[in-house]
Amino acid sequence: MTGIVGFAGAAVVYETGLMSRIKDRLLAADAGTPSLSDAISIEWHTVQTVLETLQVAEVPVGHVEDAGNGGGIAEFGGKLVFVTGHGSLGVIDPEAGKIRYLPDRIPMNLEGLKSHSAWDDDAFFRAWFRVHHMRIQPNKESGHHLYVSYNHFENGTICTRLSRVGISEIDGDVILEGQWDTFYESEPCVNLEKRGNVFYGTQSGGRLLFENDGTVLLTVGDYGFGAWTPDQFVDGALGDWSTLLRIDPETGEKQVVATGFRNPQGLVADDQGRIWSTEHGPKGGDELNLVVEGVNYGWPVESYGVEYGLGAEPRADLPLNPDQGRHRIHQAPILAFMPSVGLSGLAFLPNDTEVFDRWAGDLLLGSLNGNSIFRARVRDNRVVYSERIPLGHRLRDIIRLEDGQLAVWTDSRLIILIRDPDVQGEGEELLISGYQPIHEIEAGLAAARDTSWRREVFQLHCGQCHTVNGEPGIGPSLHSIEGRKIGADEYYPYSTALQGVDGKWSRSWLRAFVRNPEAAGFSNSAMQGLAIEDYLTDAAIDYASSKSVEENKTTD
């Protein structure tokens, strides 16, 4: 049996006595609730694909932060190092049997942001201020370095930074060494005051890849400005925005490799040295691109997709595209997805792989909305086909480990391990202990939750498409949703799945619909299911249900 034990050093520190009192009070509220165990066991389950049988295990790392999607995962000497959206760092060491959070955090200046007016402004989505990516690079002269791309707040502005710090092992424990070295900051930065505290951190890009000579490739998104002010993106870029950059970490010098990217979320090199990237399109048009130096990939002039509409309008034109839904002027993608699946991390399986050998030479594309890996077979610089492999979670980062296994970082605070049983044998049950410190942090967060937290959950999971002020956005307004008649917003053009339904939204029906609209009886709904826990669904429902149109006129 494989054992993963221990959890030392929390990223969030609480006074021990206080945490004990909070835990006792929570348990006393329900005498039938057993105390939370320090250990859990995880079984491998089988997922069948066309060519390969997979064994999959879902390893939780705990909800040590209430806000923040994003983050990523990297391998370091057989260990898994992960970072959360708001900068907490943790390590899983299967061989030594440890899982723990480091005392160090990513230097995002989160505390400075919390003291700014944006933090409590409904226009500011806290979870969109985030860590984007992380990788570890060995250096023969100075040892290993941990590289992280992230949003950084300073003096009312937010920039994307690329920083590094030493990383090593002492007595089997991973530690960070020295000071953070920031060698890149995006130009320009986003001024919150000028944008009314609106910050599209979800479109920061931020994926990185090491080149053989030690330089770093970094994607930079358009921060939403490609839709707002497309005319400012001369030749596909506005400063560093919408580019793929090559950066020298020793000198900080940078050069533009390619332009015309909206929000590039995946970046990988294959065994021929070709660079592949994935990016989020607007409404439709997610892309897999083969990156060629000096080429413009079209954004914000053209895309196979269009912009999202508002209210009764299902779509809006891209203002600069002379032929909506076409991609004829600039370099077209190798593969586009319609509708969008929220492409994220990207991995490559080398042609000489023994693990998952039937996938040799294929690209693995993670997805957020799609809750799946898309395996793309590439031949002669084109995709012959893609296969969807559902995993039931929003997948943010995917890496190939030294032993050939795959590891996936999800927005569910799970690390998904994927092994090849034909080569690596049947996976034994994972016994994971050391969760008591995590439970204490989670209990403290639960005790501190208030209306502000519920609003944050709503913004993160619903707010990109829905409002609570009675005005439809991409989707209908969700004000007073619990107990409201289904399909009752007269200003919104509902899908046939929601038109004419005789009934009202109950809590259980809302939960089922959020998780899986088709299983809830709405097979034609335009909404995709969300892989989130019931307590988060309930928080979003509570927030929306507490908001009537009249309340929003005076309080929101």
Whether residue 203 is found in the same domain as residue 72:
yes
Whether residue 21 is found in the same domain as residue 148:
no
**Per-residue pLDDT, 282:** 94
Quote the DSSP letter at residue 119.
Answer: G
Whether residue 18 is found in the same domain as residue 126:
no
The residues pairing with 287 across neighbouring beta strands, listed in sequence order, are 279, 336
Amino acid occupying residue 550:
E
Share of the chain above pLDDT 90, in %: 60
Q: Which of 415, 448, 481 is the last residue of a domain?
A: 448
**Per-residue pLDDT, 500:** 65
* Higher pLDDT, residue 424 or 72: 72
Whether residue 36 is found in the same domain as residue 140:
no
**How far is 484 from 488, CA to CA, in rounded Å?**
7
CB 273 within 8 A of CB 350: no
- pLDDT tier for residue 552 given thresholds of 50, 70 and 90: very low
Whether residue 10 is found in the same domain as residue 134:
no
In a domain, 18, yes or no: yes
In a domain, 74, yes or no: yes
**Per-residue pLDDT, 549:** 55
- CA 457-89-451 angle, to 5 degrees, is 20
**How far is 255 from 276, CA to CA, in rounded Å?**
18
Whether residue 543 is found in the same domain as residue 434:
no
**Per-residue pLDDT, 180:** 97
- Buried b / exposed e over 401-431, threshold 16 CB at 10 Å, is beebbbbbbbbbbbbbbbbbeeeeeebeebe
Q: What is the DSSP string of 436-488?
A: HHHHHHHHHHHHH--HHHHHHHHHHHTTTT--SSS---SS---TT-TTSBTT-
Whether residue 217 is found in the same domain as residue 175:
yes
Q: Which of 237, 262, 287 is the last residue of a domain?
A: 262
Q: What does the pLDDT look like over 315-345, one tens digit per residue? A: 899 999 999 999 999 999 999 999 999 999 9
**How far is 395 from 127, CA to CA, in rounded Å?**
16
Residue 201, SS3 per DSSP: helix
pTM across the whole model: 0.84
Whether residue 436 is found in the same domain as residue 502:
no
CATH number for position 470: 1.10.760.10
Whether residue 268 has pLDDT greater than 60: yes
**Per-residue pLDDT, 476:** 84
Whether residue 30 is found in the same domain as residue 84:
no
Whether residue 100 is found in the same domain as residue 174:
yes
Across 85-99, 108-122, 371-385, least confident range: 85-99
Whether residue 497 has pLDDT greater than 70: no
Average pLDDT value over all residues in the chain:
86
Whether residue 84 has pLDDT greater than 90: yes
**Per-residue pLDDT, 103:** 92
For the four alpha carbons of 110, 115, 118 and 121, in that order, the dihedral sign comes to: positive
Number of domains in the chain: 3
Helix, strand and coil content of the chain, in percent to the nearest 5, comes to 15, 35, 50
In a domain, 310, yes or no: no
Whether residue 27 is found in the same domain as residue 170:
no
Whether residue 32 is found in the same domain as residue 81:
no
State which residues form the domain around 2. 1-43+429-448
In a domain, 117, yes or no: yes
In a domain, 415, yes or no: no
* Higher pLDDT, residue 313 or 312: 313
Q: What is the mean pLDDT of residues 126-148?
A: 89
516: its two tokens: 């899986």
In a domain, 269, yes or no: no
556: its two tokens: 């929101």
In a domain, 340, yes or no: no
| Distance spanning both ends of the chain, measured CA to CA | 54
In a domain, 13, yes or no: yes
Q: Which of 417, 448, 479 is the last residue of a domain?
A: 448
